[in-house]
Amino acid sequence: MTSAHTPKAPLADPVSPLEPGRDSLFRAYVEAASDIVYTLDLTGKFTFVNPYGLKLIGADHYDEVIGHSYLDIVAPECQQSTLEVFANLLKTGELRDYEFVVLTKSGDRVFIEVNGRLLYQSGQLVGALGIGRDITERKRFEAQLKMFSMALDSAHDSALITDLQGNIQYANLATRRTFNWPQARLTGVNLEVFFQNEDQVRWVLDRAQGEGWSGQIVCQRYTHETFTAFISISPVHGEGDATPVAVSIILRDITQQENIKAELASKNLELARANRLKSEFLANMSHELRTPMTSILGFSALLSQSVYGELNDRQQLYVTQIHQSGEHLLSLINEVLDLSKVEAGQMDLHVTAIAISPLCDDVLKMVATQADMKQLTVHREVADNLPTLLADEMRVRQMLLNLLSNAIKFTPKQGAIGLRVEQQQEYLNITVWDEGIGIAEEELSSLFQPFQQLDSSLSKQYEGTGLGLVLTQKLTRLHGGDVTVKSEKDNGSQFTLHLPLNCRVKTPHDERYALLNTAAPPTEMPVLPQAATSGPVLVVEDNPINALLLEHMLTHWGYQVFHCADAPAALDWLAANRPILILMDIQLSGMDGLQLTQQIRQNPAWQDIPVVAATALARPQDRDRCLEAGMQDYISKPINPAELVSVLAKYTLGQD
């Protein structure tokens, strides 16, 4: 095969310049060389190839190469440029560091770097001599190095390599972006330009003398603007040497993260403040609403029970409606407060062993009147031999009442509702079902949203705040269980409480934290087990109506009552009198009830007088504060007459 576009030149007889015997020493060197040594005639055909060249090409014999064109082993993409280079060699007489790709007999690609000279015989140009070196490994390394450099340049983080004095040997493109550096090259610039003082540079370089270091540091941009960065410093060791020869620095600008962190901290402070204000609002709302509720429920109970005379039927109906409306309002207040406590993680469970069958009977009795008013059939399906349930009995009762009340509310007259209880492995499934209006599938997702009612229009048929189901779900999950619902529009609903038989262990707080805030129905007024002992009861209460209610209740039970509206009046009265019991409101004008109690306890003459809080502050922490101030007991408003009788019996009659 011949080479195209070969320049015309006088041709001599084809004689190899390396004829045997002519230069045996040179031939021995060429044949032992680890480079390719070859000669070409003026047409580009091989006239000689040393053994290393044959081995590299993959040829077994010289005749596979000698007499053939060099283009036969050149990769297709390199053939045109190789033709031009060979023509230029014949023209200029010299070839330096030309790189091209050779295809071996097995199809492998080998990168070759060639240097060449012209060959003359008797002053006549006869061909060319080429010496080529296999640079495949170098090319592979260069490709890897280029890829590594491209990867570093595309990185978001700044990457630098410096010598031990801090002079930059390498910096990726992110370094320029990070430091707003205007110059294209940073090589040779000292690290000190990135920091505010030399001590920082020395400190950074010292970290590379050991195992390295990573952490936050303050840097400066080209404009001397400072910023916070996360830096990772590592020593670079020489090959086979434990001594550091350079320093590797990876640096990330964390200004945005720090700003976000500061913003989050600010938001958290705002949320904490909002949560504190919410708690204060709920506490104040509880007090302000419970205070008048005490009078509404208390006086209506006194009237309904004919304590001061018989009522006619119409009067009895009106008083009963007043009391029931007050109870309804109190239940709404309690739902809001309970929901806020659960969401704030302040709801504690008082876990006890519960016999589930009697509990179900009790709950069904509580809603029986409501069901009878709508002529509903109530089904009870409680499996026999159910195991004991370990849970907070008051909260389980509250959940069942919520579900049963909803079932009654949404079921038409003469319909049916039911309560079904069964065990499923380690869970107790309590299901409340009804034949009511049902729930459309698209509305199920909003069923457990606070203050959300499926019928929220101004003309809605059913009253309520939309908190009952939300609170039920949260209380169930607080026990380690959950609530599921099955329903179809106009085809009834089925709500199931899935409660583990052994609910969460009893909290560190004990039964003191059970809220005593459920108003008693206007049944018969409780009586003391024996006549009241001699001695007055001091009522410290700033609300005159509530004070009047307590005075009438205590007088009914035979006690002598004295009332003081504030702390100074109470202290003045105590200086001349000794009560057998003090009922203490907390939110008094001027000195509050806690401070007054503490002052009473500091007087040796008054230390043994029992003090019981009678307050509208009904949170668990409120009870704690009262006991810590030196009070013996606590009752929350609206005051439950039975509970008040229990307190009187304990502290005035000595009966537990």
Task: Beginning with the edge strand found earlier in the chain, give each strand of the sheet holding 124-134 in spatial order.
Answer: 46-49, 36-41, 124-134, 109-121, 94-103
The one-letter amino acid at 467: L
Name the residue with tokens 């007050």: 326
Burial-class residue 312 by CB neighbours within 10 Å (0-12, 13-18, 19+): exposed
Instruction: State phi, psi for 415 to the nearest 5 degrees.
Output: -90, -160
Q: Please state, in angstroms and rounded to a whole number, the distance separating the CA atoms of residues 152 and 173.
A: 8
Give residue 301's pLDDT.
79
Beta strand extents in 510-603 (DSSP E only): 536-540, 560-564, 581-584
Query: What DSSP state is assigned to residue 502?
Result: B
Give residue 11's pLDDT.
35
pTM: 0.43
Do residues 397 and 364 lie in contact, with contact meaning Cβ atoms separated by under 8 Å? no
Do residues 86 and 9 lie in contact, with contact meaning Cβ atoms separated by under 8 Å? no
End-to-end CA distance of the chain: 122
Q: Please state, in angstroms and rounded to a whole number, the distance separating the CA atoms of residues 3 and 83.
A: 8
Q: How far is CA 299 from CA 18, 63, 523, 641, 647, in A?
A: 132, 126, 13, 11, 20
Instruction: State the sign of the Cα–Cα–Cα–Cα dihedral 388, 394, 395, 400.
Output: positive
Q: 159: Cβ–Cβ under 8 A, 6 or more apart, which residues?
A: 152, 170, 171, 172, 174, 175, 248, 249, 250, 251
Q: Which residue segments constitute the domains of the chain, with CATH numbers given?
A: 24-139 (3.30.450.20), 155-253 (3.30.450.20), 262-339 (1.10.287), 349-506 (3.30.565.10), 536-652 (3.40.50.2300)
Instruction: State the sign of the Cα–Cα–Cα–Cα dihedral 629, 631, 636, 638.
Output: negative
Return the exposure string of 576-605: e unless at least 16 CB atoms fall within 10 Å of the residue's CB, then b. eeebbbbbbbbbbeeebbbebbebbbeeee
Instruction: Write out the two tokens for 314.
Output: 């119409």
Q: Which residues pair with 391 in a beta bridge?
A: 352
Q: Please state, in angstroms and rounded to a whole number, the distance separating the CA atoms of residues 150 and 159.
A: 12
Q: 505: Cβ–Cβ under 8 A, 6 or more apart, which residues?
A: 351
Burial-class residue 473 by CB neighbours within 10 Å (0-12, 13-18, 19+): buried
Burial-class residue 87 by CB neighbours within 10 Å (0-12, 13-18, 19+): middle
Give residue 508's pLDDT.
37
Q: What is the mean pLDDT of each run of 10 residues along the chain (656 residues)?
A: 37 41 67 88 92 90 91 93 92 91 92 93 90 92 84 84 90 88 80 88 86 90 90 86 86 90 88 76 70 79 77 81 76 70 70 91 88 92 90 88 89 92 92 89 70 43 62 87 88 91 55 37 56 78 86 86 93 92 90 92 91 82 88 86 85 77
